[in-house]
């Protein structure tokens, strides 16, 4: 694909309370509707009106926050949308490959080919307190070994049905041709799965495989399996380094750079003018619980940031060492601190950035400036698209769709209509071949030959 042909891809990270830490207090926010399906339908249809590629919902297995289960939510949204992709987060550490393969195949059928799986290995040590498997929260290298094997099993299960001949209908009966359905007999270090799956291969072959993470292990998992990676870089330089690094890893797995789309998170604060955007940013900052924000930011340091002035530089000499237990998503700490170092931030700037994007880049400006930012990251190979983090829901998404997207279209870097019917088609991703087909075909032919020889 030539540089002129490249277009930006956009996903919306669904969070009814908004992604800014103070956004839920904004007069236009409705955080109390986080369990209301009508609110999710409103948001999904708004995003589809804006020709957004997909919606994404996060998930975890701990804490007291209110969160709908992804498969249930996305299945409901499949019935009230037509084109937008539906991406759900499912952990490989606390689930079973057979169940996950079956549920995503079902979602892909219900949505007519719009399902995507955001593959995560875990969220926090607290998840392990609620799930019996593994006896807790495995250390990172083991989680990624489990995750790699888990994804391989699900792929083989999706491939356990041939494309042709698995189903046939005559005048009276639905008949299943069992010669085209196969056991996978997978035996790995962590999973033993006989198969086959009890649902035919999904409409997309596989749901679009998404991976979220920036650690060394996460990048390798993405290079091997993922087709989209949701990541967090806060500067163009860091984004370019990540982009080049991950794309360079694909060749060892027989893949090319266009097989994987890299989509950093973007918390855009958009106004008609830069001054209007600055006013909104100031308003959101005023809604912050400053004590809580300082406490959250201090977790990276061996000192309490509340003891400093907000206009002091971030005390980088007080950053906790790698040996100190931080818990959670450790790669996010490096992304955040890298941006602090590159931009020589004050504590106020650090809080603003953290509040607006929880580790992702935030950008404040007029709709023209935001379009410039997006185009620059696309042209300079910092991103293939962005995972949008609306600061106030639905206000921020409405402004982005009504102002930024028409400007991106005018520049020829965003679609004016959906290109296809499936999420793969809209993302420009190839439909994966059935990797077991050659094995199944060879076995089937051998059976036919043996049967013919026996008959003679």
Binding residues: 59, 89, 144, 214-215
Are the C-beta atoms of 28 and 391 separated by less than 8 Å?
no
CA distance 444 to 265: 47
Structure tokens at 427: 């993302």
Write the burial class of residue 72 (CB in 10 Å: 0-12 exposed, 13-18 middle, 19+ buried).
exposed
Angle between helices 330-343 and 347-357 (to 10 degrees): 140
Residue 164 zone, left/alpha/beta (φ > 0; ψ -120 to 50; rest): beta
Contact 91, 203 (CB under 8 A): no
Q: How far is CA 200 from CA 170, 308, 424, 450, in A?
A: 18, 60, 18, 28
Question: CA torsion sign, 155 to 124 to 25 to 388?
Answer: negative
Q: List binding-site positions for FMN.
A: 59, 89, 144, 214-215
Select from 391, 420, 419, 386 the least CA-distant residue to 405.
386
Q: How far is CA 361 from CA 38, 187, 266, 287, 438, in A?
A: 30, 42, 5, 20, 45
Which are the contacts of 123, defined by CB distance < 8 A and separation ≥ 6?
Answer: 60, 61, 62, 91, 328, 329
Other Cβ atoms less than 10 A from the Cβ of 174: the count is 8
Q: What is the Cα–Cα distance from 86 to 423, expressed in whole angstroms?
A: 8
Residues 6+ apart with CB under 8 A from 154: 97, 100, 101, 104
The 3-class secondary structure across 186-254, one letter per residue, is EECCCCEECCCCCCCCCCCCCCEEEEECCCHHHHHHHHHHCCEEEECCCCHHHHHHHHHHHHHCHHHHC
Cα–Cα distances in angstroms (integers) from residue 320 to residues 114, 126, 302, 351, in the given order: 42, 21, 6, 18
Tokens of 241: 């380094």
Under 8 Å between Cβ of 387 and 169: no
Contact assessment for residue 277 and residue 363, using Cβ atoms and an 8 Å cutoff: no
């Amino acid at each position: 694909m030539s540089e002129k042909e490249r277009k930006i891809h956009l996903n919306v990270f669904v969070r009814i309370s908004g992604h800014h830490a103070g956004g839920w207090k904004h007069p236009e926010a409705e955080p109390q509707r986080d369990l209301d399906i009508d609110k999710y339908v409103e948001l999904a249809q708004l995003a589809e009106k804006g020709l957004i590629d997909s919606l994404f919902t996060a998930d975890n297995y701990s804490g007291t926050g209110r969160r709908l289960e992804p498969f249930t939510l996305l299945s409901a949204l499949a019935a009230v949308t037509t084109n937008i992709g539906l991406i759900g987060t499912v952990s490989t550490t606390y689930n079973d490959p057979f169940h996950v393969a079956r549920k995503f195949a079902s979602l892909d059928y219900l949505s007519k080919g719009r399902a995507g799986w955001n593959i995560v290995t875990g969220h926090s040590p607290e998840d392990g307190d609620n799930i019996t498997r593994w006896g807790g929260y495995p250390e990172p290298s083991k989680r990624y070994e489990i995750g790699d094997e888990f994804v391989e099993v699900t792929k083989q299960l999706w491939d356990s049905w041939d494309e042709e001949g698995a189903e046939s209908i005559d005048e009276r009966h639905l008949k299943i041709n069992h010669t085209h359905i196969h056991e996978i007999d997978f035996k790995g270090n962590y999973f033993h799965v006989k198969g086959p799956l009890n649902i035919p291969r999904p409409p997309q072959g596989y749901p679009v495989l998404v991976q979220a993470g920036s650690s060394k292990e996460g990048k390798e998992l993405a290079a091997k399996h993922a087709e989209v990676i949701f990541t967090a870089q806060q500067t163009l330089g860091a984004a370019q380094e990540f982009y080049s690094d991950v794309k360079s890893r694909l060749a060892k797995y027989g893949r090319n750079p266009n097989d994987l789309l890299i989509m950093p998170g973007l918390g855009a604060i958009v106004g008609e003018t830069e001054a209007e955007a600055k006013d909104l940013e100031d308003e959101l900052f005023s809604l912050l619980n400053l004590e809580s924000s300082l406490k959250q930011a201090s977790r990276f340091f061996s000192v309490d940031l509340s003891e400093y002035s907000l206009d002091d530089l971030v005390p980088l000499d007080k950053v906790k060492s790698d040996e100190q237990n931080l818990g959670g998503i450790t790669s996010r700490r490096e992304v955040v601190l890298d941006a602090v170092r590159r931009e020589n931030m004050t504590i106020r700037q650090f809080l603003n950035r953290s509040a607006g994007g929880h580790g992702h880049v935030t950008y404040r400006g007029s709709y023209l400036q935001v379009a410039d930012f997006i185009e620059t990251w696309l042209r300079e190979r910092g991103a293939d698209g962005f995972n949008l983090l609306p600061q106030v829901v639905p206000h921020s998404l409405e402004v982005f769709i009504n102002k930024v997207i028409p400007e991106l279209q005018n520049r020829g870097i965003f679609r004016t209509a959906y290109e296809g019917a499936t999420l793969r088609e809209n993302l420009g991703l190839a439909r994966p071949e059935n990797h077991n087909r050659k094995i199944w075909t060879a076995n089937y032919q051998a059976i036919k030959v043996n049967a013919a020889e026996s008959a003679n």
